[in-house]
Chains A and B, each alone.
Chain A
């Protein structure tokens, strides 16, 4: 994931509040992925407009965490979603 890359959730992939299990999930075609706090925080910033650099910058500020660590974690998480076609990336 490069700094200028713009991640976006494609049609058919959406965040959903699972009220029965009291957690956030990512709903995708024939799949439901339980999100932890970090995963939900990252995807909440993905809006199809802002770049990876802007998203991770916002997260670093919000969690008062080192940007390098945030970028590493976010890139791994988003790449895994991308490989499953749950995330589009516009370069």
Chain B
């Protein structure tokens, strides 16, 4: 099978963020500010990405608005011919900055939602006044007319707010909402006791999404990421490893997915030492789990092997200790029953405290 060109690139411009969400997808060991790529290097990477076939650029972090050169980066990405999507909490965006981003050609904004009221949102984000600020930013986004996706991040503490999140998306004029149940990678692994939904909550969320898709048809598109510990089949992670997307970390390390550094035996290349083209096609980490040849049983003979590609490599690593194993979410995994029991145990820890993400530069604790 020949390797297709990538369609999407996630540019993690910085690991800095004013929020400290306990489910942050950033790795536990974060890149310091002084290690971040500069403006000119990012601009070159964007051109290399476009030449490689990338169409969609997701500008993320951390909080991308923490980069003072964000507008220049958007302009460089548009000049390279990329569709630019800003993934933000809204904190750090002013009306003037949004206006500059508009002039620079920003195509779309994905705004995260930590909760549907200040009490919930500010506790989860660990940032007082964050919700109020976000609502102000959402209003400015609407005034300018940016296409908007609301990204509601849900877990045991706030899943009951899903119906209100759907209403808020419509009120903000969003065309789309991502109903994203927390995936347990990076910092989130430390918070499984505090955040794991109950099985009942997961089922209720699925039901609400199914009904909402019917009555909001043509008004609001719903993308749904279910609570996969409670599912029977794993997610089709990254659309297949090294198949459609790549990630560039703040310091220029190129990753097949945002959590790939949790697989200890992989080695990664950086944009300062190799071209994106060579990293995508020849890089050891990208070829490690590309296609289906690496699979063992039960994946190798499974009729779903090109549906979900055996699920998430990082999840297999984190839970089974073998990145080439079947994702334990899968009913065919010998670890499936144990994972479901584990999920129920996490979900029963009612008083578990939130472990907030720390800022880069501080010493990280190893994930449990």
Contact = CB atoms under 8 A, between A and B. Distances in A.
* Binding partners A and B: yes
Given A12-B147, A18-B55, A20-B53, A30 B217 contact: no
Contacts of B220: 85
Given A12-B107, A20-B5, A84-B221, A27 B147 contact: no
A29 B85 contact: yes
Given A21-B5, A85-B175, A27 B56 contact: yes
Most chain B CB neighbours (cut-off 10 Å) among A20, A30, A31, A82: A30
A30 B218 contact: no
B149 interface: yes
Given A20-B5, A29-B176, A82 B108 contact: no
Interface residues of B, number: 26
Contacts of B149: 29-30
B169 to A, nearest CB: 12
Interface string A24-42: 0101011110000000000
A66 B221 CA distance: 34
Interface in B4-24: 5, 7-8
Q: Report the contact-size class of chain A (Cβ under 8 Å from the partner).
A: 10 to 19
A16 B55 contact: yes
A13 B217 CA distance: 19
B83 interface: yes
Nearest to A18: B55
Contacts of A32: 7, 55-56, 83
A1 B255 CA distance: 44
B175 A30 contact: no
A30 B52 contact: no
A83 B218 contact: yes
A48 interface: no
A32 B50 CA distance: 14
A80 B134 CA distance: 32
B129 interface: no
Interface string B37-65: 00000000000000111011010000000
B217 A83 contact: yes
A30 B58 contact: yes
A27 B105 CA distance: 14
Interface in B149-200: 149, 175-176
From DSSP, what is the main secondary structure of chain A's interface residues?
loop
Contact of B51 (A16, A20, A21): A20
Contacts of B147: 10-13, 29
Interface in B311-337: none
A21 B176 CA distance: 28
Contacts of B176: 29-30, 85
B110 interface: yes
B145 interface: yes
B85 A27 contact: no
Interface string B135-149: 000000000011101
A29 B108 CA distance: 6
B58 A20 contact: no
B52 A20 contact: yes
A84 B51 CA distance: 28
Nearest to B7: A32
Contact of A27 (B5, B55, B219): B55
Given A20-B5, A30-B85, A85-B176, A12 B53 contact: no
Interface string A4-25: 0000001111001010110001
B337 to A, nearest CB: 35
Interface of A: 10-13, 16, 18, 20-21, 25, 27, 29-32, 82-85
17 contacts: A12-B147, A16-B83, A21-B5, A21-B53, A27-B55, A27-B83, A27-B107, A29-B107, A29-B108, A29-B147, A30-B56, A30-B176, A32-B55, A82-B218, A84-B221, A85-B175, A85-B219
Given A11-B146, A32-B7, 4 more contacts: A20-B53, A27-B56, A29-B107, A85-B219
